[in-house]
Each structure stands twice: as C-alpha cells, then as structure tokens.
Amino acid sequence: MVIAACLAAWSLHVVASASQVAGSIPFGSPGPLDGTIGTEWAQAYARGASVRYQRTSCSCSATYLAVTLRLLHDAENLYIGLTMQAESYSLGWKEFKAVLILDNGDGMSGNVGDNLIIVPAAGEYVAADLDYYYPRYSGNPLRGAQLDAQQDVVGCGAWNSLARTYEIEIRIPLQSGDSCDVAIVPGKPFDLTVGFEAFDRYGKLTHSGTSPVVSVCVAP
C-alpha cells in the first residue's frame, strides 16, 4: 500500500453529541452491493462535502473533489455509500482507491483501536483485503496500518462514465468481535473520515486527499 504524506491533514471536523446524531443514520439496507449508488440509498442519511487534495509529487495548490456520504444501518451492519465527483481521465488516473477511517473516539487519529478500509474502484466486486488496522500510534493516518487477518469488511466500487463519478459501497459489521475493529455501539458517537488515492498507469501515486471527519452514531 502506498502511503501518502498529505493524508495527515484532515480538512473538516464536525463534533456532534449523541443526542444530536441519534437517529441521523436511518435503519435500512441498500441490498446487494454492486458499486452503483441508486434509489436504494434514497432513505439514507446524506452529507455533502469537499475533499481537499493535491498532486503528491509537488507543492502545487490544492484543489477540491466533491463527495457525498450516505449512511444506513440494520441490526448487524453499517452501510456506507460514497459518490466522488472526479474528472478521472483528464487527470490521467488509471486506478482509484477510496479510503475510509473509523476512529474509536479517543481523540487521536491513526491510533490503536482505529481501523482503515480501502476499496479500489475497479468496476468489479471486491470481497477481501479491504480491512486494515493500526498496531501503534502514527501521526499520519495511513502510516503503519497493516492488513487485518480477520477480514470483516465487504465493499465494491466503480467508475460511472455517464455521471463522471466514482461510486463506492461498503458494508461493515457494527460489532465484528475483532479487537482490531472499531465496535459501533448504538448511542455512542464515532468518527468517520473519507479520503482517496489515485494512481497513474504505471502504478505511481499521483493524487491523494482527505474528506470530512464526521461524528455519527446509530440510534439506541
């Protein structure tokens, strides 16, 4: 996994109490994950934001990528749908990976107890090698993260050529029983961050950035 130094900066932090967000994530399921955001997400909690990103090989001015985050849950899982607006081909991106960080609320990003999810938007179903964890603290949210032996996350993503968006769908157990995963407890807020990495045809990381940090919770 390529580590992007500029992922250390988070662009937005929204603090919300349990009373403010309880019920913000509606009960429901999008059904089978196919990497396409459709009407099955109509009842989801939705939030729009801008992801700050820049080219990794220079100190160029940052630019912004529009993202919409959607959340649903059922009795067992949290469902996350992402839509990322990007002129992929004009930038020469040949591979795109969505990055999702779940924080356990200890006030330290990239710390033991947080976990990282990476979903390639490859246009095909991906069922494994998405779930990472932090064995120790790192000031960079990605540095030091390791692939979790217990793969509890399922996800897929695809490039929508008509809408010119990357669309990502992810399913995460609320409580997987894995000590490396964040346990999502109803009524207890947790932090969620979205980002991305983009690569050229030679597999070189060219752009990366971070999305909002949002405190959310599942209603008790």
pLDDT digits (tens, 9 = 90+) for 101-126: 898 877 777 788 888 998 888 666 66
Would you say residue 186 has pLDDT above 60?
A: yes
pLDDT tier, 182 (very low <50, low <70, confident <90, very high otherwise): very high
Amino acid 209 reads G
Would you say residue 148 has pLDDT above 90?
A: yes
pTM: 0.83
Helices (H), 57-177: 88-91
CA distance 78 to 89: 32
Comparing CA positions, the residue from 6, 38, 16, 73 lying closest to residue 211 is 6
Would you say residue 20 has pLDDT above 70?
A: no
Strand locations in 10-160 (E):
12-14, 45-55, 63-73, 77-85, 95-103, 115-120, 124-126, 131-133, 146-147, 154-160
DSSP H or E stretch at residue 173: strand 165-173
Query: Coil, strand, or helix at residue 55?
Result: strand
Sign, CA dihedral 165-41-15-148, equals negative
Report pLDDT digits (tens) over 71-89.
999 999 999 999 988 765 5
Domains annotated on the chain, with CATH: 5-216 (2.60.40.1190)
